[in-house]
Amino acid sequence: MKQIQVGLIGFGTVGRGLAQTLYEQKDRLLRKVGAEVVLAQVADTSAESLPEQFSDVKLTKDANEIFANPDIDIVVELIGGMEPARTFVLEAINHGKHVVTANKALLSVHGKEIFEAAVANNVEVGFEASVGGGIPVIKSLKEGLVANRINSIMGIMNGTANYILTKMTDHGVPFDEVLKDAQEQGFAEADPAYDVEGIDTTHKLAILMTIAYGKHVHLDDINTEGISNIKPIDIEFAREFGCRIKLLAISRHHGEYLEARVHPTMVPTSHMLANINGAYNAIHFNGDTVGNVLLYGLGAGMMPTGSAVAADVVDIGRNILCSSVNRVPALSYLPENIGSPKISPMSELTCPYYFRITALDKPGVLATIAGIFNKHAISIKSVIQKSRHELDPVSIVILSHTANEAAVQASIAEIDALDVCTEKTVKIRILTDDE
């Protein structure tokens, strides 16, 4: 019987999830594919042995043995990071092996190089698990929505950040305490910067934008802000305004230019994304033909991500069996039709804003702050100041009507320079009901 043989680099959490999926679903995949999908070899520098059910799988510490193995059809890279992952992926491609990876960081930085190498060597690159864990977001975007001009992408793409914000919202716990809890439960890494500072979300948005718009979007093209400055007081004010704070990835198609940003956002509770809680992800697309589409599910974890990796392996295996390699272009657009993006400057963004200004409660302070906003043509919608004591700093919360980002930044710089201001101003952009 024909076999599709898989070589796996990295037997960590997701690697074990893939191995377990292929083992548990062996008979089902045989009935669906018409060939055995077999994990034939594993390369891992730290594993001394594999679980008993994988006793027939060859184990090596040298990934080059997988590249040199003529029976291996597909190489799966699951070690993460830039190097040696980039070298391994390119080496596999140059040996004529198809590649599957969950490495969003690698693709958001070196994707152009990798996809061009795959085209030159007539092999496929699968990367479903790089965005959304077990949610079939890549396949939906590049195949299910292929007839659409994608007008916008918006979503919650990091389960750790969403878990932290949900706990802060539901229990009023400070960021640092929730982060510690998330680390103890395994939702957050020992070094959580990629998750809480928005970098992981930015990796994913870059990949989705590349597929959606047919432009090679790089990590550095996207303005990124994290959630580490959000405090329970901001959560409480958001609640008063009928909003929840979420770390959103947002991109819009403005004809020649693309909007690209990741940051905390006040989302009206009437919006579907406001009600995505815990470690769940949700990605929303708007297409000119289909309208609004929302994909929801677990964005990480051993088995959900392993499921997505297995889906890529099966897709490529089917193409091998039918001699139809690269029937669906990796990035949906034909390679020759993918160009370079023009990204709208962040300074041109317009939206409503939330400001929390910490200042001494003295006569004239509010008038001075209002004067600065007026100077920069920022129209104030409402002002809240809950406590009053001249010796203690107070929080002055201001909501603006739609304002320009450049004007907002200039205003904040002036306000923070005032002698009466004791902390840096917190700024959160607000999503409008019709977005």
- Which residues are the active-site residues? 204
169 CB contacts (<8 Å, ≥6 apart)? 235, 238, 239, 244, 245
Tokens of 243: 């909003």
Tokens of 284: 């929303």
141, 211 contact by CB (below 8 A): yes
DSSP state of 227: S
- Residue 155 pairs in a beta bridge with 249, 283
**Residue 199, helix vs strand vs coil:** helix
Rounded distance between C-alpha atoms, residue 284 and residue 136, angstroms: 13
**Residue 191, helix vs strand vs coil:** coil
**Residue 210, helix vs strand vs coil:** helix
Rounded distance between C-alpha atoms, residue 178 and residue 180, angstroms: 5
Bond into 70 cis (ω within 30): no
Q: What are phi and psi of 101, to 5 degrees?
A: -145, 150
